[in-house]
Amino acid sequence: MLFSKRKQVVKRILIVEDEPLTAFDNETLIESAGYEVVATHDNVADALASLDESPIDLILSDVKLAGKRTGIDLAREAGKRGVPVLFVTGKCPPDAESVSIGCLVKPYSGGVLKDAIKAVELHLEGKAGKLPKGLELFPITAR
């Protein structure tokens, strides 16, 4: 009997982070885990432009970003396009559940980030899995 590899739900990830070192670390970790980083931005306008330019399966976004708009604003726009957002932030905002798939609280290790993305993939498939420390996932609803 042959076993097939599970179909990967999340392949292309957009990183939105205004701290350069964190953005670089996330990009490196995500690529080493086999995902494609579509782009890395520090503001909402550039992130939305990337959403318009290429398919994206998941956005990892901080809440506080460069400029006047926040990760909450980005998540609202991404939700209209059917793209889930996982906040990676120091503190999960009170209204995160209404606009995002979940929150991963900083600081986190590279292993935790990789495990969080895998947990999000399972969640998007409607499956449950073990959540790494600092990750909270919300019910999937029409956003």
Domain boundaries 12-137, corresponding CATH code? 3.40.50.2300
Q: What is the pTM of this model?
A: 0.91
Among candidates 45, 43, 49, which has minimal Cα distance to 19? 43
Beta bridge partners of 135: 104
Least confident of 4-13, 48-57, 71-80: 4-13
Are residues 58 and 116 in contact, defined by beta-carbon separation less than 8 angstroms? no
Question: What per-residue confidence (pLDDT) applies to 8?
Answer: 76
Q: What is the pLDDT of residues 59-118, one digit of tens each?
A: 999 999 999 999 999 999 999 999 999 999 999 999 899 999 999 999 999 999 999 999
**Cα 84 from chain centroid (whole Å):** 7
The domain spans of the chain are: 12-137
